[in-house]
Structure 1
């Protein structure tokens, strides 16, 4: 149970981080273009 909970929270954090990174990359690309 505990391990699963930790994995779920890690996945959520990872998804949020990836989403944030994608948004940042889009902003930079827009500025370049």
Structure 2
């Protein structure tokens, strides 16, 4: 259970890390 939770946390971090630059790019678009 604990191992699964760590995997979920890492996955969420990875997704948010990928979304940050993407969102920044969207905001820079005219």
TM-score, length-scaled by structure 2: 0.78
Any gaps of 5 or more consecutive residues in structure 1?
Answer: none
Largest Rg, 1 or 2: 1
Which aligned runs of 4 or more in structure 1 are off by greater than 2 angstroms?
none
Number of aligned residue pairs: give it: 30
Residue in 1 that maps onto 2:18:
20
CA distance in 1, matches of 2:25, 2:4: 32
Deviation at 1:29, TM superposition (A): 1.2
Quote the offset at 1:14 in angstroms.
0.1
Unmatched tracts of structure 2, length 5 or more: none
